[in-house]
């Protein structure tokens, strides 16, 4: 706008405080711009009306055509002030059309193929359509197709398409929880695990990404009762490195699962430690800070149990690769790396191990942690490990004189 002009307040979205291009009414009777309220509602964290604070009981958004026409007329009347006319928005897909599409798909395999093709087209058009599909129950419909993969071999290609669609729907937290708890549509975690085991390359990646999203909203009891096969397939995805996104998603799954119950033991039994160390040795994996960070978090958790420490020390490069990550990735990675070394140094110390740690530069790295700007907790752990084995390390001829003089007492 070329000149300052007062905009009628009822044309402004209560969220964005900008002119509403596509005004819609929610169940509480308040009008918002579609884009703003969809971001608010479908972030998965907010289910209340921003203005009234009341729960929005119906996710359907009703277009406010009257307000839109008034806004368009006002824009036209004020065109001389540089106000641009708001174009008439394209109507989103109708809920009843989606419901009919799903209902008709039950009659034959051909109709299911046709239905998925149409759903793919709808998903690709815009974000609003994704929300309409969600309200119409499409995620649950797709989950049912995915769960039938082990029942009917002819469903494999349909399952792959349904899996891709379900991932690209970017479902809200509410829907993901429904999928996790919906036994009628089959056990979604079990179905995804099967695909991770036997699916094609692309489907295994989508299954891993979906599993990450679903387990993020699971409650502790659901996480603690997961079968060992879930850990086996997640570790296999890490080992196969089918894609960078799938590898990060699989690592994220382990970060989510390992704090609970006996999940650390399940992860160790699945071979997670050896695979993670091999990943850390891979420069392409370490090029992105987040990957090594998560890897160190998982190693720290796994080394808190005896089986984990034993598996860690069974890998010839374990101490060296963890030592290398200190002060080279991030504060989080450094802290977790020091914790790993403290765990093995406290519970598994042997003359051979202590000598290996000295030879590999662990002691020098711990001194560096004490000297530079680093987290206080990380420094405390480094100091604890140095003091724990002072008798061996302080008197070693391998240790430089300046370090011997500065050795913590």
The span from the CA of 393 to the CA of 353, in Å, is: 12
State residue 59 phi and psi, 5-degree precision: -80, -5
**Sign of the Cα pseudo-torsion (366, 369, 370, 376, in order):** negative
Within 8 A by CB and 6+ apart from 94, the residues are 132
pLDDT at 149: 65
Sheet holding 23-25, edge to edge: 31-33, 23-25, 62-63
Within 8 A by CB and 6+ apart from 383, the residues are 366, 370, 408
What does the block give as tokens for 357? 């740690």
User: What are the start-end ranges of the E strands in 333-397?
Assistant: none
The span from the CA of 176 to the CA of 158, in Å, is: 21
Q: What is the pTM of this model?
A: 0.84
Question: CB atoms < 10 A from the CB of 206, how many?
Answer: 24
The span from the CA of 45 to the CA of 40, in Å, is: 8
pLDDT (tens, 9 = 90+) of the chain, 409 residues, equals 445 788 999 999 999 999 999 999 999 999 999 989 988 887 655 778 999 999 887 767 889 999 999 999 999 999 888 888 889 888 778 888 999 999 999 988 899 999 999 999 998 887 778 888 988 999 999 999 998 865 455 667 899 999 999 999 988 888 899 999 986 556 899 999 999 998 789 999 999 999 999 999 999 999 999 999 999 999 999 999 999 999 999 999 999 999 999 999 999 999 999 999 999 999 888 888 999 999 999 999 999 999 999 999 999 999 999 999 999 999 999 999 999 999 999 999 999 999 999 999 999 999 999 988 778 899 999 999 999 998 888 877 767 777 777 778 7
């Amino acid at each position: 706008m070329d000149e300052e002009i007062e905009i009628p307040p009822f044309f402004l979205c209560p969220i964005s405080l900008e002119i509403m291009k596509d005004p819609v009414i929610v169940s509480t009777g308040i009008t918002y711009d579609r884009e703003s309220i969809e971001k608010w509602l479908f972030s998965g964290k907010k289910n209340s009306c921003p203005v009234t604070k009341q729960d929005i009981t119906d996710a359907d958004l009703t277009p406010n055509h009257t307000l839109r026409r008034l806004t368009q007329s006002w824009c036209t009347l004020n065109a001389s002030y540089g106000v641009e006319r708001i174009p008439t928005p394209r109507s989103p897909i109708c809920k009843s059309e989606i419901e009919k599409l799903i209902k008709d798909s039950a009659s034959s395999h051909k109709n299911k193929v046709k239905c998925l093709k149409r759903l793919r087209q709808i998903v690709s058009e815009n974000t609003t359509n994704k929300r309409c599909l969600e309200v119409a129950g499409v995620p649950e419909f797709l989950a049912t197709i995915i769960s039938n993969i082990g029942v009917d071999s002819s469903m494999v290609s349909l399952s792959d398409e349904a899996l891709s669609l379900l991932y690209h729907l970017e479902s809200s937290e509410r829907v993901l929880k429904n999928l996790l708890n919906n036994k009628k549509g089959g056990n979604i975690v079990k179905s995804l695990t099967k695909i991770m085991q036997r699916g094609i390359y692309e489907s295994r990646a989508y299954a891993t990404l979906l599993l990450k999203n679903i387990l993020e909203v699971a409650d502790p009891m659901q996480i603690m009762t997961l079968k060992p096969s879930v850990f086996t397939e997640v570790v296999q995805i890490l080992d196969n490195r089918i894609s960078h996104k799938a590898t990060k998603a699989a690592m994220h799954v382990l970060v989510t699962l390992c704090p609970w119950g006996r999940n650390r033991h399940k992860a160790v039994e699945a071979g997670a430690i050896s695979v993670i160390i091999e990943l850390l040795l891979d420069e392409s994996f370490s090029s992105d800070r987040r990957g090594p960070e998560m890897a160190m978090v998982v190693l720290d958790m796994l080394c808190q149990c005896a089986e984990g420490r034993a598996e860690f020390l069974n890998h010839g490069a374990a101490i060296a690769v963890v030592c290398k990550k200190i002060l080279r990735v991030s504060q989080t990675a450094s802290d977790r790396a020091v914790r790993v070394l403290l765990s093995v140094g406290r519970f598994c110390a042997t003359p051979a191990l202590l000598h290996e740690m000295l030879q590999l530069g662990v002691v020098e790295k711990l001194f560096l942690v004490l000297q530079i700007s680093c987290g206080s907790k990380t420094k405390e752990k480094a100091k604890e490990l140095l003091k724990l084995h002072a008798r061996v390390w302080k008197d070693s001829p391998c240790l430089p004189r300046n370090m011997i003089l500065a050795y913590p007492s």
